[in-house]
Structure 1
C-alpha cells in the first residue's frame, strides 16, 4: 500500500504546534507536534462504498468537521512526526477497509457422524453390562 502514500499526500492537511515531552529547550521553541487531517467525504481515492465503510468504522476518530484526525508527538522532529502520523493513518484506513471473509457453514461428514454414533453405542453397551452385572 506504499503506492497509496503519494496520492494520500495530496489530500492531507497538516497542522504543527508545540509538543510536550522530551527535547529540553527545543520543546519551547520548535513546533514538532503534528496533527494530520484527512477529509474522507471529499477524497478522490475511494469509491462511495469505501467512503461509507470508512465513515461508519471510523466515526469515533472523526472530528466535528468529519475529518479523520491523527496526532503524533512522539518524535523530536516535525518531519518524523509527519511520517509517523501518515503511517498511522494508512494502517487505520487499511483496517477500516478490510472485509472479513464470510464463513460458509459446513456439515458433519457421514463418516464422522457414523463414528460418533458407534462410539456412543459402544459406551452404552458397556454401561448396560455394568448395570446387569451389579444386580
Structure 2
C-alpha cells in the first residue's frame, strides 16, 4: 500500500511539474506570438500610410526650344493640350489646341504658339518671337 501511495504521489508530482513546464512554454510562445502580432500591426500601419503605387504612366513627348536667350520646354500632355514651361523662371502655362491655323496652334489667351516643323512662333503679350528647337544629345 505504501509503495502504491508513493508511486501515485510521485506520478502526481511529475504530472504537476510537466503541466507547469508546458504552461511556461505556452506563456513564452504566447509572448512571442503577441510580439509578432504587434510588429505586423506596425508593418500594416506603415504600408497603409505609404502604399506602393503600381500605376504605369504614359511618357510625355517633350521638345525644347531656345528663344532670344530663354529656353522653353513644350510638353504634349494630350493630343488637345500642351504645356509650355520657361525653364529659367520655372513658369508654365497650359495651352489648348486650336484648329484655326495651318499646322499646330496652341493658345490660352495670354500665350499662343504656332508650331512649324523645327521652330515655333511664340506670341506673348503681343510680342512675337521665333524659337528654334534644341536637340538633346543623350
TM-score when normalising by structure 1: 0.22
Please tell me whether Structure 1 or Structure 2 has the larger radius of gyration of its CA atoms: 2
Structure with greater proportional helix content: 1
Greater fraction strand: 2
If the length of structure 2 is used for normalisation, what is the TM-score? 0.21
